[in-house]
Amino acid sequence: MTDPIQNTRILLASRPDGEPTADNFRIEHVPVPEPAEGEVLLRTIYLSLDPYMRGRMNDAKSYAAPVELGAVMEGGTVAEVVESRDPSLVPGDIVLSHLGWQAYGVLPAGQVRKLDPSRAPVSTAVGVLGMPGFTAYAGLLEIGRPQPGETVVVAAAAGPVGSAVGQIARIKGARAVGIAGGAQKVAWLEELGFDVALDHRSPTFKDDLKAAVPDGIDVYFENVGGHVWDAVLPRLNTYARVPVCGLVAHYNDTELPPGPDRAPRLMQTILTKSLTVRGFIQNEFVKTHYKAFQADAAGWIADGSLRHKEDIVQGLENAPEAFFGMLKGKNFGKLLVQVGDDPTR
């Protein structure tokens, strides 16, 4: 009997009060359990870092249960099968899995999906061909429903969701206006073919946006909130659609404005412009749209109309810092942590 493999894992040590810090996490080294019948032992290659994880650190009721204190932080992973006790998988197989922030893990074989490295780089399974790409696809097409010639505005446009939203909008014949932070991201959006790319840090941002949407905004894909939303709201057209996918500008808010939720200004705008404001999580659309997404996205990637960028940080121990940076918009492209070697590259 061999010695058990040593695992490194990052646990949620305490709940953040506002901006999360290194103190909220704890790193530990423990032996990996043996897989039981029907299970596989996995070695993490890539850990996906995504804004939703900030919500999981809170003890608040949301669409998913919070991560418990002392538990491994949650997260999607691309991993290699090290040992299999299920006939469906063999060592060396690469799988999409949800191991969380750890270097190894054991899962039932039924909870992982085998990837074909010859079809696309395996890292895209947590990016443009995975949850972020699907979020863009389902939210834009099912809620935003852009028509040819309409104007689609997306915030956090250089992120994995936003960049897909803008490109899919253009594929569907709409104008795409992307909003991002900093000249480098703006330049990349222009390279991707966005009709206009704007820097929300510019002192003239509000006027820039107004000038960029002479016919108003028909779809605003909301990833951000904050001052971008303030600038967008007066520009929305009658019957505009607002898929609400994220509000990263508010995830670290400790003080919400005092008083109740009634939001009379926003509600009056919703009323007088016949707006549709619709929150969503991609899970809702998996059954109905995931197959079509896989087919469409593969085609668009193949013909060059859907491009993506990855921002890869080396080493699991650097995951917390990378995560903090992402909440401030410091990543440029899909943020991944390379936890172990990628045998397919």
Residues making contact with a second copy (CB under 8 A) = 55, 61-63, 222, 225-227, 229-230, 233, 238-239, 244-247, 250, 253, 256-257, 259-281, 284
- Tokens found for residue 78: 């691309």
Which of residues 103 and 236 has its CB atom nearest to a second copy in the complex? 236
Q: Where are the alpha helices (DSSP H) in 114-214?
A: 131-138, 160-171, 183-192, 205-212
By C-alpha distance, which of 33, 8, 35 is closest to 91?
35
Q: How far is the CB of 153 from a second copy (least distance, A)?
A: 16
Contacts of 110 (CB under 8 A, 6+ apart): 38
Give least dist CB 83 to a second copy, A. Answer: 39
Residue with tokens 């508010």: 250
Residue 314, C-beta contacts closer than 8 angstroms, at least 6 positions apart? 337, 338
Tell me whether residue 183 or residue 263 sits nearer to a second copy (CB atom). 263
Pull the structure tokens for residue 61.
């009721």
Q: Which two tokens stand for residue 184?
A: 């480098």
| DSSP code string of 29-53 | EEEPPPP-TTEEEEEEEEEE--THH
Contact 157, 196 (CB under 8 A): no
* 66 vs 108, beta carbon nearer a second copy: 66
30 vs 263 by CB, closer to a second copy: 263
Residue 79 C-beta: closest distance to a second copy, Å: 29
Minimum distance, C-beta of residue 246 to a second copy, in the bound complex (Å): 7
> Angle of helix 183-192 relative to helix 160-171, nearest 10 degrees?
30
Q: Cα dist. 252→18, 55, 57, 312 in Å?
A: 4, 9, 11, 24
Nearer to a second copy, 87 or 259 (CB): 259
Please count the CA atoms within 13 angstroms of the CA of 190 that sit on its side-chain side: 10
Give the nearer residue to a second copy in terms of CB position, either 64 or 295.
Answer: 64
Give me the least distance between CB of 219 and a second copy, in Å please. Answer: 14
Min. distance of Cβ 203 from a second copy in angstroms? 17
Closest to a second copy by CB, 29 or 262: 262
The minimum distance between CB 262 and a second copy, in angstroms, equals 5
